Structure 1
Amino acid sequence: MQLNPYSEYAVKLATELANEPPESLDELVQRCLDAGLVIDFPVVDDDLATSAAVVERWLGIVDAPDDAERATAVNAMLADASAYPRMTDHAGDGWHLHYRDEHQPLGHVLAALFSVGTALHLVGRGMHRLGRCTADGCTRVYADTSRGGAQRYCSPGCANRDAVRRHRARRSMA
């Protein structure tokens, strides 16, 4: 069975690229490969800049102030980045859907991947399942894939530091 590549791993890759932008095209390609993306399409010189712009646009979805504006931002990105769905077995690893035109370079593939993946994530898990870490001083992004859907921190480290801070604040008031 082929898992839909436009699902959880798409928002995880977008999150990783937002939190730690790649410094070179080679790094971008390697991180995409590490995330499971099959790169059987062109990689061109401007893909690093294109992907940075795609991630910046995706952050507008993350930072949208309400569900309606978030949906508007996703829909706009979908309209610009994706194509009609088509079945493919391009890598010989099982049939799955692509929401992009063939022979697009990496930056354009990431735009389709992130827009469709984010739409599926939000409608499947909840419109509140993307955000910024709520720990003091942290602005990293998270994509909530937890069972309960109550994630507020980018990492267990931030959650633990914030819990210690709150505990110390309560003790100092006592």
Structure 2
Amino acid sequence: MNFNSHTDAVVAVSVELVNLLTSGYKQGRPYSPPQDEDQKVAIATVLSARKRDRHLLTATETTEIQALAQRLRPIFTAVSLADHDDAAERVNALLRDTAAHPLLIKHDGEPWHIHFHGDRDSYTNDWAAGCATGLAIVLGSEHADRLGECTAPACDRVFVDTSRNGTRRFCSTSCQNRVKTAAFRAREKARK
């Protein structure tokens, strides 16, 4: 399941930022985001993997990206709870706050393709506008339920389901295997 290359990229960044920068649980264990310089490097790695450039984040930009991740998480939670109205309202608020608008852009030897940028000349606002627009495209399609939170116990990492059949419910193979192993052990114990 692919939406379009730019949408896929910014939705993937949304997932990565939420999973990197929000506290909670990951694969059965408490999770805390990296801090200080480790956080700055981790954010730069996520963003540069998509833009093919290495932007040196300022302290302000790091804080703004952290805040963006905090605003993105409840969107995935709302979809997991089948509350698409709440998810849409949150995305609309981000779209308004970033003043996202489409632009056709040609770069890195690629053909013309659509990007979404905000009206402020800001690295972080452009990312926020792109993430908001990508999520809006997914939520406004018949595939809105492809966003979600991991259903494994003690894991709240988020995902976008790009599988053909749309049945993914775990953030990783590790979580899926944990659930299958626990179910197998429970069946074995019940047989004894």
Structure-2 residue corresponding to 1:123: 140
Gaps of 5+ in 2: 22-33
Shift of 1:96: 1.9
Structure 1 residue matching 2:59: 3-state secondary structure:
coil
- The equivalences for 1:32-111 within 5 A come to 32-34=47-49, 36-39=50-53, 44-64=58-78, 65=81, 66-89=83-106, 93-101=110-118, 104-111=121-128
Taking the aligned partners of 1:50 and 1:71, their CA distance within structure 2 comes to 22
Bigger drift between 114-123 and 150-159 goes to: 114-123
| Contact kept in structure 1, 2:118 and 2:125, CA below 8 Å | no
From 30, 37, 42, the equivalent of 1:27 is 42
| Contact kept in structure 1, 2:148 and 2:159, CA below 8 Å | yes
Deviation string 1:12-54 (CA, Å, 9 cap, x unpaired) is 11111221236343432232111x2155989543111000111
Taking the aligned partners of 1:125 and 1:51, their CA distance within structure 2 comes to 29
Scaled by the length of structure 1, the TM-score of the pair is 0.84
Structure 1 position 169 matched with structure 2 position 186: yes
Scaled by the length of structure 2, the TM-score of the pair is 0.77
Shift of 1:82: 3.6
Pairs aligned (count) = 170
Bigger drift between 36-45 and 144-153 goes to: 36-45
What value does the CA root-mean-square deviation take over the aligned residues?
2.4
Bigger drift between 116-125 and 163-172 goes to: 116-125
Deviation string 1:41-89 (CA, Å, 9 cap, x unpaired) is 8954311100011111011111124111111111111121243322222
From 143, 147, 161, the equivalent of 2:160 is 143
Classify 1:25/1:102 alpha carbon distance in 2 versus 1 (closer, same or farther; 3 Å). farther
Structure having the higher strand fraction is 2
Residue type at the aligned position of 1:30: T
Taking the aligned partners of 1:101 and 1:67, their CA distance within structure 2 comes to 24
Structure 1 position 17 matched with structure 2 position 32: no
Taking the aligned partners of 1:154 and 1:138, their CA distance within structure 2 comes to 8
Classify 1:14/1:101 alpha carbon distance in 2 versus 1 (closer, same or farther; 3 Å). closer
Structure 1 residue matching 2:170: 3-state secondary structure:
coil
Structure having the higher helix fraction is 2
Gaps of 5+ in 1: none
